[in-house]
Structure 1
Amino acid sequence: MQIETLSNKYEGAAKTWWLSGLPGAGKTTLAMALADRLRAHALPVCVLDGDELRKGLSRDLGFSPADREEQSRRTAEMARLLNSNGIYAVVALVSPTISGRSLAREIVGTRRFIETHVATPLHVCQQRDPKGWYAKALNDPALQLTGFSAPYEAPVCPDCVIDTNQTALPDAINQLFSYAREFRTL
């Protein structure tokens, strides 16, 4: 008799949407709306938001390049655990480097990882500034704000690209959901 492990049972089932982009790009808004859509289809889902993770799992991390990479690694490990238990993960994380996102893809698994670049222009993110980070960065040169005073490496070949300045929220969610259906990942 063969024993079926959780990872075998759910192999190919649950996926991770990894939403990466500048602060204020709309990653969390997209993540919450996508999670609502998945729940409406009776699919189990968990949102992993960078700001929320820094309140607990990653509260010991700062914003140095090494800490940002570690934040991505920890988030990917959590997404992998969720996926292996049949739970979809929707990650809203700046994850500013190509290497950090590549490591996340490796940890989660290529077949489960849907990289989405939330490609909202910097000037739009600065206008939105929902948490006041851009205003703080203007007044504090030591503050390393991704895309402003610290680098952001845009994905080279993301699975999806969404500019929340050009795409209405329902259309963006349809695009994310359609991508998953097109490639039979739902």
Structure 2
Amino acid sequence: MKQNGVILWLTGLSGAGKTTIAQRLENKFQEQAYLVELLDGDVIRQNLSQGLSFTKEDRDINVRRVGYVANLLSRNGIIVIVSLISPYRAVRDELRYSSKNFVEIYVNAPIEVCEARDVKGLYAKARNGQIKSFTGIDHPYEEPLNPHITCYTAKETIDESIAKIINWLEKANQLPELVIPINSRENLNFSSLRI
């Protein structure tokens, strides 16, 4: 029987540090020869959810689509890292309870910190009315009530946040079995196997 992977769902405001943490996690897992896929909100919007607006209904559709893909991947033993604002608690909870091995990670940073980190100037445009329905400004963000892990990125370094996530996964026995990379198979000693 194939072992399930795990879905690491990073939620939080724009600029909280979701993508940075997600990319670093992806690199760490790849270094350890895990099968891993990163589903980033910006990339998803361009490819899987193009044409959706930023209404509550369309945001929920986007989150459900990403959740569906994450479930497909995780049931095949892949660690799936999702970096998505996913502002509504109800749809996140829906995925949490309908998915196997779903880990909700709240990337928590005050809005002032997120604005200070905003190199694209999106918060400024939202405050000036150039961008409508911007989460945290004129669109709500519902914080998770019981996330599995909370990373306080205004107080922790990225390395501390990564270590917190990996330690939690190890203690909860949530990491799938390692897959032996093809290029490492030549180093295996099969002489002790009985056929």
Number of aligned residue pairs: 175
Distance 2:121 2:61 in 1: 24
1:46-125 to structure 2, matched below 5 A, reads 46-109=37-100, 112-125=101-114
RMSD: 1.2
The match for 2:26 among 32, 35, 45 is 35
Relative to the length of structure 1, the TM-score reads 0.90
Q: Deviations over 1:77-113 (max 9, x none)?
A: 010000011111000000001111012213423xx11
- TM-score, normalization by structure 2: 0.86
Taking the aligned partners of 2:85 and 2:98, their CA distance within structure 1 comes to: 17
One of 149, 166, 176 as aligned partner of 2:165: 176
Q: 2:139 aligns with which of 139, 145, 150?
A: 150
Q: Distance in 2 between matches of 1:78 and 1:157?
A: 24
* Alpha-carbon distance between aligned partners in 2 of 1:142 and 1:79, rounded to the nearest angstrom: 29
SS of 2:38's partner is strand
- CA deviation after TM superposition for structure 1 residue 141, in Å: 6.7
Structure 2 CA distance for aligned equivalents of residues 31 and 132 of structure 1: 22
Contact residue 153 and residue 161 of structure 2 kept, 8 A: yes
Moved more, 124-133 or 77-86: 124-133
Provide, for residues 108-138 of structure 1, a one-character-per-residue CA deviation record: whole Å limited to 9, x for no partner: 23xx111010011100001111332101101
Q: C-alpha distance in 1, partners of 2:170/2:131? A: 44
Structure 1 residue 40: deviation in Å? 1.5
The residue matched to 1:173 in structure 2 has which SS? helix
SS in 2 for 1:51: helix
2:117 maps to 128
Q: Which amino acid counterpart does residue 56 of structure 1 have in structure 2?
A: N
**SS of the residue 2:47 aligns to:** coil
Against the structure 1 CA distance between its residues 43 and 140, is the aligned structure 2 distance closer, same or farther, given a 3 Å change threshold? same
Q: Tell me the distance in 2 between the aligned counterparts of 1:95 and 1:130.
A: 21
SS at match of 2:46: coil
Letter in 2 for 1:93: L
Task: List runs of 5+ in structure 2 lacking aligned partners.
Answer: 176-195
Do 1:80 and 1:107's aligned partners in 2 also have CA atoms closer than 8 Å? no
Structure 1 unaligned segments of length 5 or more: list them.
Answer: 1-7
Structure 1 stretches of at least 4 aligned residues deviating more than 3 Å after TM superposition: none
Q: Percent identity?
A: 37
